[in-house]
Amino acid sequence: MSTNPTHLEQQNQTEQQNKAPVSSIRTHSGFTLWLDGLRCKLTVHAWRRRTKKARRRHSFRQVLARVPHANLIGDALYMIGFWVEYAVVCAVRGTYKVASTIGMNAARLLVTIIRPFALGIITLCEDIVEPFQVVGSGIRHFRAISDELSDESAHTIRKEKLRYFAHAARQFLPLLLNALSYIMPVAAAAGFLYVVQSGLNQNFVLNVQVNGTSVGTVASEQVFESAREDVRSRITNAEAVMASTGAQVSDDSWDVTPTYTLESGSSTMTETEAADAILCASSDQIGEATAVYVDDSLRFVTTEGDHLRTYLESIKAPYVNAMDQNKRVSFVHDIKLVDGIYLLSSILDYNNVISTLNQGGGPTYYTAAAGDTVQTVVDNTGVSWDTLAALNPDLTGIDEVLDEGTAVMTGVSHPDMLQIKEVVRSTYTEPIPFDTQTSESDEYDFGKTVVVQEGADGTEEITRETTYIDGVESSSEVVNYKVLQNPTTQLIVKGTKLASGMVARIGSGTFVWPVPNYTYVSRWMSSYHKGADICAAYGTPIIASDSGKVVTAGWHYSYGNYVIIDHGNGYRTLYAHMSQLKCTAGQAVNQGDVIGLVGSTGDSTGNHCHFEMYYNGARFSAQTYFGGMRASR
């Protein structure tokens, strides 16, 4: 039986509420009344939900009641749910039991494994600490003997202390040996680490030896190998120089086999120093000299390297200006002087070196008269003492007296090998022309040109290098460009608006043949004829040669029906003798649009199109663009 209030009960409750004393109702505040109303609404809402839920349950029961064997189905579903739940519970319990068993066994195994280590560590600590504790206790008792036997003689006290020390030593010895069994391996390991660390920190070098004699040390095997290759290269070059002079070179006369041993040290030689030391220790047939390379090719070896350098510098001196940073002076050929150790038998005489360098030129000499000195040569020739000394290494000083007839070299003309190259760098500015960009706009009338931005040239800095060979220019090239100011592009807008409201295109400046289906050209423009006569059948279409605006489309006594197109870029074209016009004045046409038909109107003797072309008001021959068209038969 439902407990919900009936409509009659609700009405009685309402009447009773209405009969309540007015004074009691008025005593309630507005918030209380609002809260009571809210509670009533919530109560009614909850009652409605319960009612709907009860109705759904009742409907579901009725549906189940109509299903055949509903009780059996319900029992089956219940059993299925029960066994599924039971299986899940059993699986969870089994899993928990297995996990617990595994965890307990793992914990036991862990304890079994860790326990010996823990006991060992504890025992180790006790074995190490116990001797120190016993020693400390023995020292305290040893000190207390004097206080305990204060009434005894000093001899008795010493005797008692010796007896106590001997007894303590016998008792303490096993503990000490037990502690040392732990301490000694640790001390040995520490000593081993110290030895290894000290060995690693030592700087090992290679002691280079030649024929059992030490010549120095190098930092690494790579430096040693590089020095050995350098030695082999020098020997090869020296042998080549000797062979070029005609000297006999034996394959086994020069054999250098350096070795090395490992040792500790700090100071080392460079690759070049090691090569020099190896060569010096190898034989007494080598010495310090200067090799002369020309264009990376070894030409000769001399002992007068310093004189040769002075001589070469004296040749360049007249062309060198130390204050001019834009000028470089050098020889045309790359001449390098390399000091080093060379075979003494490969060294050439200095005069032979000078002669070889001056092949193709000519040395100049001063022949000494009786009483001449080197100073006299300087005064008479104007050649400086440094130059004379470089050219003549045998001279001893400025005051040296020369024998009569002695030839003193005072200079040479520039041969091919000693040609002077001067590279002069110059910098200047040039303008950069501005570009012009043209666009179209229907804001302006057709044919009107408006410059919306004036163009301005930019400037660039150009660096040029000019090469002179013995004072004669041989080449000049630009080596660098630097923009100082960028040019300003000129922007031009051309109008395309026509009076009719149409928008015309500006011509491209590229023209097409106005009568594609023509037969031939009977004549071109000449002094007595204004244009090209293009013959074609009557009614053949005539097209606009380029886009633009039709400025004229009408009748002329001579042209007959004719059309003039302004292309807006300075060009105009005229088409005459048409049989019919296909455009009107003010109309915009595109390239290829039909503007009329071929005819013979006006002053004409046959069907043709009279075609004229203009640029900035000046007429020019269409043959300029269409020179390959078919001429008259």
pLDDT at 22: 41
pLDDT at 7: 46
**435/488 Cα distance (integer angstroms):** 8
Q: Which long-range contacts (CB under 8 A, 24 or more apart) does 436-439 make?
A: 436/489, 436/490, 436/492, 437/489, 437/490, 437/491, 437/492, 438/492, 438/493, 438/494, 438/506, 439/491, 439/492, 439/493, 439/494
**569/548 Cα distance (integer angstroms):** 9
Question: Nearest to residue 531, comparing CAs of 579, 581, 573?
Answer: 573
| pLDDT(27) > 60 | no
pLDDT at 20: 44
- Rounded to the nearest 5°, which phi and psi values hold at 474? -115, -30
pLDDT at 253: 52
**484/458 Cα distance (integer angstroms):** 7
- pTM confidence score: 0.42
Q: Is 8 a domain residue?
A: no
Sort 570 into a burial class: Cβ within 10 Å, 0-12 / 13-18 / 19+: middle
Q: How confident is residue 413, by pLDDT bands cut at 50, 70 and 90?
A: low
Q: Are 366 and 379 in contact (CB under 8 A)?
A: no
**Tokens in use for 87?**
């299986």
Q: Are 582 and 598 in contact (CB under 8 A)?
A: no
Same domain? For 340 and 473 the reply is no
Q: How confident is residue 213, by pLDDT bands cut at 50, 70 and 90?
A: confident
pLDDT at 534: 95
| pLDDT(200) > 70 | no
Q: Which of 370, 386, 418 is the last residue of a domain?
A: 418
Same domain? For 147 and 193 the reply is yes
Same domain? For 218 and 306 the reply is yes
Q: Are 496 and 504 in contact (CB under 8 A)?
A: yes
**572/447 Cα distance (integer angstroms):** 11
Same domain? For 320 and 242 the reply is yes
pLDDT at 143: 73
Q: Please, which residues bridge with residue 573 across strands?
A: 565, 613
- Tokens 């950069």: give the residue: 432
**228/278 Cα distance (integer angstroms):** 8
Q: Are 464 and 426 in contact (CB under 8 A)?
A: yes
The amino acid at residue 489 is T
Q: Is 47 a domain residue?
A: no
- Tokens 């005489």: give the residue: 349
| pLDDT(249) > 60 | no
Residue range of the domain that includes 469: 420-493
H, E, C per residue of 157-198: HHHHHHHHHHHHHHHHHHHHHHHHHHHHHHHHHHHHHHHHHH
Q: Are 390 and 344 in contact (CB under 8 A)?
A: no
- Rounded to the nearest 5°, which phi and psi values hold at 425? -100, 130
Q: Is 108 a domain residue?
A: yes
Lowest mean pLDDT across 324-338, 550-564, 613-627: 324-338
| pLDDT(1) > 70 | no
Q: Are 448 and 495 in contact (CB under 8 A)?
A: yes
**158/164 Cα distance (integer angstroms):** 10
Question: Nearest to residue 470, comparing CAs of 319, 321, 360?
Answer: 319
**Tokens in use for 113?**
């494994």
Lowest mean pLDDT across 26-40, 89-103, 297-311, 507-521: 26-40
Residue-wise pLDDT tens digits, 92-125: 988 988 898 898 888 888 888 888 878 878 877 7
What value does the mean pLDDT of the chain take?
82
pLDDT at 21: 46
> What number of residues does the chain have?
633
pLDDT over 90, % of the chain:
24
Same domain? For 186 and 77 the reply is yes
**169/538 Cα distance (integer angstroms):** 147
Residue-wise pLDDT tens digits, 268-300: 888 888 887 887 777 666 777 888 888 888 788
Same domain? For 191 and 232 the reply is no
Q: Which of 460, 493, 526 is the last residue of a domain?
A: 493
Residue 447 belongs to domain with CATH number: 2.20.230.10
Q: Are 550 and 533 in contact (CB under 8 A)?
A: no
Q: Please, which residues bridge with residue 33 across strands?
A: none
**239/564 Cα distance (integer angstroms):** 92
Q: How confident is residue 23, by pLDDT bands cut at 50, 70 and 90?
A: very low
**Tokens in use for 545?**
């040669």
pLDDT at 595: 96
Question: Nearest to residue 622, comparing CAs of 580, 582, 590, 575?
Answer: 575
Buried-exposed string 485-509: b where 16+ CB fall within 10 A, e elsewhere: eebeebbebbbbbbeeeeebbbbee
Q: Is 207 a domain residue?
A: no
**71/73 Cα distance (integer angstroms):** 5
Question: Nearest to residue 551, comparing CAs of 570, 574, 533, 527?
Answer: 574
* Number of Cβ atoms within 10 Å of the Cβ of 246: 6
What number is the average pLDDT over the span 512-530? 93
Q: Is 593 a domain residue?
A: yes
Same domain? For 472 and 595 the reply is no
**422/473 Cα distance (integer angstroms):** 9
Q: Is 186 a domain residue?
A: yes
**Tokens in use for 246?**
């005609």
- String of DSSP letters for 336-374: EEEEEEEEGGGBPPHHHHHHHHTTTS-EEEEE--TT-BH
Q: Are 543 and 593 in contact (CB under 8 A)?
A: yes
Q: Are strands 490-497 and 436-445 parallel, antiparallel or unpaired?
A: parallel
**68/466 Cα distance (integer angstroms):** 117
Q: Are 546 and 508 in contact (CB under 8 A)?
A: yes
**439/451 Cα distance (integer angstroms):** 10
pLDDT at 511: 95
Chain centre to alpha carbon of residue 153:
95
Same domain? For 335 and 431 the reply is no
Q: How confident is residue 438, by pLDDT bands cut at 50, 70 and 90?
A: confident
Q: Which of 418, 438, 466 is the last residue of a domain?
A: 418
Same domain? For 601 and 471 the reply is no
H, E, C per residue of 531-556: CEEEECCCCCEEECCCCEEEEEEEEE
Q: How confident is residue 564, by pLDDT bands cut at 50, 70 and 90?
A: very high
| pLDDT(633) > 50 | yes
Lowest mean pLDDT across 154-163, 330-339, 436-445: 154-163
**442/439 Cα distance (integer angstroms):** 10
What number is the average pLDDT over the span 474-494? 91
Q: Please, which residues bridge with residue 291 across strands?
A: 301, 338
**461/431 Cα distance (integer angstroms):** 9
Q: Is 292 a domain residue?
A: yes
CA torsion, ordered 316, 319, 323, 325, to nearest 10 deg? -90
Same domain? For 322 and 457 the reply is no
Give me the number of domains the chain comprises: 4
Same domain? For 357 and 230 the reply is yes
Q: Is 4 a domain residue?
A: no
Decide which of 169 and 460 is more confident.
Answer: 460
What number is the average pLDDT over the span 443-469? 89
| pLDDT(225) > 70 | yes
Decide which of 163 and 310 is more confident.
Answer: 310
Decide which of 146 and 53 is more confident.
Answer: 53
**547/533 Cα distance (integer angstroms):** 21
Q: How many helices (H) and strands (E) does the chain have?
A: 11, 25
Q: Please, which residues bridge with residue 440 across strands?
A: 494
How wide is the angle at C-alpha 590 spanned by C-alphas 587 and 593, nearest 5°?
90
Same domain? For 457 and 561 the reply is no
Residue 603 belongs to domain with CATH number: 2.70.70.10
What number is the average pLDDT over the span 308-331? 88
**239/233 Cα distance (integer angstroms):** 10
